[in-house]
A = this chain, B = another copy of it.
Amino acid sequence: MNKVLPVVENCASCPIRHRAVCARCDDDELEQLNQIKFYKTYAAGQTIAMRGDALDVVASVVAGTATLERAIEDGRTQLVGLLLPSDFIGRPGRDTLQYDVTAVTDVTLCCFQRKPFEALLTRIPHVQERLLEMALDELDAARDWMLLLGRKTAREKIASFLMLIAKRTVHPDGQVLGDTSRIELPISREAMANFLGLTIETVSRQFTGLRKDGVIALDGNRNVRIPDLETLLLESGDDSDGGPLI
């Protein structure tokens, strides 16, 4: 518990700068951002924030994986966001959080106090613009996700999830790769079930099914090899023309 986690020095060195909030800032603007930011780390399993919490910071994920969850009292839980490096948490202009945020691996956040950040937005308009762009990207992702939840079969859901992770895999050098022949699942079977609107048993059975049919190969629980990406794409029921590989 509470291991010492690596600390990142500043946004300019963020491996994910090209997608993060400061993507288009010049050195001067980065300096302004640097003055109001700080890093925070959470160990795997820790709760970062809970639904209803007053939210006085906004943040970017620098490293690790976190989840956004919505739950019903009786325990049913739906993942409503998967936060990977470069994703943004929190919303300028609203001060309570609507969801539970949990670190599923060790997570490093680049945080900004909300008030000074909002003030900064008015001075650096293209950060505002970037936020809008990110929000709309997330909205698109949420809508694809809705198609998955409402209309896809269990097998298609799993295949779609694998494609999603493959596409979003970010390598240590910051490049978003199309390397989809081997992926590492960032979350447990349970989290996947909550992501896809399934039970863990069904998730497990579908993995077995895909393995038996030669669509994927499992190497431990978290490593998936994909011999033929085309086949997996077919299984996913996706007819998207690719779209941005973000």
B contact residues around A152 at 8 Å (CB):
72, 76
Nearest 4 CB-CB pairings of A with B: A150-B197, A149-B149, A80-B143, A142-B142
Which residues of chain A have a CB within 8 Å of any CB of chain B? Answer: 52, 68, 70, 72-73, 76-78, 80-81, 91-94, 98-99, 121-122, 125, 128-129, 131-133, 135-136, 138-140, 142-147, 149-152, 194, 196-197, 237-239, 241, 243
The residue from B68, B76, B131 contacting A132, defined by CB atoms under 8 A apart: B131
Of the candidates A76, A142, A146, A237, the one having the most CB atoms from chain B within 10 angstroms of its own CB is: A146
Q: Count this chain's copies in the assembly.
A: 2
Contact (A81, B143) CB under 8 Å given A94-B136, A136-B94: yes
User: In the bound complex, what is the Cα–Cα distance between A174 and B159 (angstroms)?
Assistant: 45
State whether A72 touches B128 (Cβ < 8 A): no
B contact residues around A136 at 8 Å (CB):
91, 93-94, 135
